[in-house]
Structure 1
């Protein structure tokens, strides 16, 4: 058996009770458009019965449902994104795991442990007990919230309407379960990176990414941006419910929660990068010492040959000039090596995903000029 078969088949998504249930129900090879139909099906299960149960109650109740932006954001935007993002995120994480081996970043005596850690991650992924607990937590979070009398579409007489019960029993738990499952996957992936950071790694101080060869990790972490966007959409929709006068009336009330989400997302998404700081510090210290010694020796020999020996050597085609430039470049890279793996593009992707719902709010509010004027006046 291939000793690296676990790495080749690594996946953070293809397992668990829900995945196995879907696989058995599908009964056939997966097609390219299946992902879209799957997202639409889950979204329809959560949202469409709410509309069907509300229609017989009349126009006022239907209007109350359509004014519930938070529900629509959860079931028609955030929920499909959580599902559609699965293959994209899984592909990036799997590629990152393979990159550790393809770039020879894991020392030979740590390869077996690396394999074992990958297998442990997939055992956690496949745990039916974990998914059952996440489902219980999703229901607990749903039923803890008290009934809101302002949401007339969920109430009928002294209790819940059919739409209200479906929202409590299916729609909200479904969304919360999918969101909690992504949070669990993030925890599992972070635990894997923590264990990898404790392995003997062969980081290269002169690597062009200036992160010892770990430059692929921040970009890998940025693949969680769709999850950040989904959660930010829900927060933005909730803010619009709390501030019914619109974005133009109180822009700060909308911007601050999303800024908090953006800051929190940056911390949570890139926090696992801190696990590698000790090894990066060690590699940089050793690299500075080694390259300083080599650069000093090379510079002395260069000066001796070019400035202290007899006739002046021929300049054209002299290999010493090229080697001096090469060692200078290597020394500069070693000195510029970052002690914390980060990438500006990855940072922009996460922050942009958290702030993107502002665009949706502007579309709903239809007050583009008023908001732009507010921003302009604030900058003056």
Structure 2
């Protein structure tokens, strides 16, 4: 089967109602910096009108807006990251999908089903109904979210009743846009997880002696870690919201900041790497088959080696003896098979997801002017 013909257009990003609308509105051809420009344009569209409308409302409205750290974190950090990370995440997932075929992990009798599963995932990606439902849910979440007039006076009109122009823009454009993009990434994660679930049910040619100690699936945890920018975006918003609830600062109450981000990190690890559990049954069966066949093979090889070298009469020339290399090779293969993980995971991938969830703490430390103090504390503790 031709790899490029099968998955040349596989993508979880390049599809859907919003993507097609962007394609129709775009006059110039795409270029390499397009994701960055799109992120900047959307961020400006969501945030700049809030500033301009607040200027109309006077100095008090502007001061109130700039005290709203959560809004700035959403629209100036999280929102651009959700858009700018699309090519990176899409590229890693496309590589993972192609790697199943490139590494011959799918048996010949499952290739047709694999291709059908890939096209099914892209059909779900292109669903207009799903995007309309996500947009409706984004508006519903925005309308039911309570607004504290005492701290969000920039959203209120001059008489304190009703919404100001900035408040209406925030209610109808900025907040629904951020929530829609976040929900769309959640949907893309569901589509990708469903694709992995269907792949895990195909006849796979797993190799227990593979050096990645995951039977050849070591590329999957790395691909899953590509969702780290999405995790970072959500963690930034949570950290900003915590700073609003705990205005005394990180240094005054560090537990109040650490616990929500720790919960985000734990939840992100569970959600990002949960699809790896789909492959556990096949990994268990592959390891059982390998153990059943490899142990007698290793025993016969070792017995023949001992008979030749320990009971074979006169001393032989050790230098360059092929039996020595053969013994080392089978020993390495046997060790890899015994150490094969039944749940595919990678330490660096795990650290990437956890680090993305905890990264906003560094931003808060800098804003709280405690970053150098924390570094000094760590340095003194290591001395």
Q: TM-score range by the shorter chain?
A: over 0.9
Equivalent-residue separation in structure 1 for 2:374 and 2:2 (angstroms): 59
SS of the equivalent of 1:194 reads: helix
2:312 equivalent in structure 1: 309
| Map 1:52-201 → 2, pairs under 5 A | 52-150=52-150, 151-156=152-157, 157-201=160-204
Say which is worse superposed, 370-379 or 40-49, in terms of deviation. Answer: 370-379
Residues 73 and 234 in structure 1, CA contact (< 8 A), matched pair in contact too: yes
Tell me if 1:318 matches 2:321: yes
1:256 equivalent in structure 2: 259
Residues 248 and 371 in structure 1, CA contact (< 8 A), matched pair in contact too: no
1:37 equivalent in structure 2: 37
SS of the equivalent of 1:256 reads: helix
SS of the equivalent of 1:77 reads: helix
Tell me if 1:341 matches 2:344: yes
Shift of residue 369 of structure 1?
A: 4.8
Equivalent-residue separation in structure 2 for 1:369 and 1:304 (angstroms): 67
Structure 1 residues 366, 173: closer, same or farther in 2, change over 3 A?
same
Equivalent-residue separation in structure 1 for 2:246 and 2:366 (angstroms): 16
Query: What TM-score do you get using the length of structure 1 for normalisation?
Result: 0.96
Shift of residue 327 of structure 1?
A: 0.6
Q: Deviations over 1:218-239 (max 9, x none)?
A: 0000000000000000000000
Query: What TM-score do you get using the length of structure 2 for normalisation?
Result: 0.96
SS of the equivalent of 1:159 reads: coil
Q: Deviations over 1:231-265 (max 9, x none)?
A: 00000000000001111110111111111101110
1:363 equivalent in structure 2: 366
Shift of residue 375 of structure 1?
A: 7.4
Q: Deviations over 1:344-363 (max 9, x none)?
A: 10001000000000111112
Shift of residue 27 of structure 1?
A: 2.7
Residues 362 and 371 in structure 2, CA contact (< 8 A), matched pair in contact too: no
Equivalent-residue separation in structure 2 for 1:33 and 1:4 (angstroms): 25
Structure 1 residues 153, 377: closer, same or farther in 2, change over 3 A?
farther
Residues 269 and 353 in structure 2, CA contact (< 8 A), matched pair in contact too: yes
1:268 equivalent in structure 2: 271
SS of the equivalent of 2:85 reads: helix
Equivalent-residue separation in structure 1 for 2:319 and 2:354 (angstroms): 51
Shift of residue 337 of structure 1?
A: 0.5
Residues 35 and 86 in structure 2, CA contact (< 8 A), matched pair in contact too: no
2:25 equivalent in structure 1: 25
1:279 equivalent in structure 2: 282
Q: Tell me, which stretches of 5 or more residues in structure 1 are unaligned?
A: none
Equivalent-residue separation in structure 2 for 1:37 and 1:3 (angstroms): 32
Tell me if 1:294 matches 2:297: yes
Aligned length: 380
Residues 3 and 101 in structure 2, CA contact (< 8 A), matched pair in contact too: no
Shift of residue 367 of structure 1?
A: 2.5
Residues 46 and 170 in structure 1, CA contact (< 8 A), matched pair in contact too: yes
Equivalent-residue separation in structure 2 for 1:327 and 1:64 (angstroms): 70
Residues 231 and 268 in structure 2, CA contact (< 8 A), matched pair in contact too: yes
Equivalent-residue separation in structure 1 for 2:286 and 2:3 (angstroms): 28
Shift of residue 179 of structure 1?
A: 0.3
Equivalent-residue separation in structure 2 for 1:259 and 1:370 (angstroms): 22
Shift of residue 313 of structure 1?
A: 2.5
